[in-house]
Amino acid sequence: MQNSWCVLKQAELTTPQKKQLLSQLEAQLTELEQQVIAIHSRGAPVQLDQQAVGRVSRIDAIQQQQMAKANEIQVSHQILRIKQILLDPDEYGFCHECGESIGIGRLTIHPIAELCIQCQGELEHL
C-alpha to C-alpha distance for 30 and 121, rounded to whole angstroms: 30
Question: Is there a contact between 119 and 95 (Cβ–Cβ < 8 Å)?
Answer: yes
**Strand stretches in the chain, DSSP E:** none
13 binding Zn ion? (CB under 5 A): no
User: 49 vs 124, which CB is nearer to Zn ion?
Assistant: 124
**What is the pattern of x (binds Zn ion, CB under 5 A) and - over residues 86-105?**
---------x-xx-------
Radius of gyration of the chain (CA): 20
25 binding Zn ion? (CB under 5 A): no
- With 0-12 / 13-18 / 19 or more C-beta atoms within 10 angstroms meaning exposed / middle / buried, residue 93 is buried
User: 82 vs 106, which CB is nearer to Zn ion?
Assistant: 106
Q: How far is the CB of 99 from Zn ion (least distance, A)?
A: 7
Question: Is there a contact between 98 and 119 (Cβ–Cβ < 8 Å)?
Answer: yes
22 binding Zn ion? (CB under 5 A): no
Q: Which of residues 107-126 bind Zn ion (CB under 5 A)?
A: 116, 119
Positions that interact with Zn ion (CB under 5 A):
95, 97-98, 116, 119
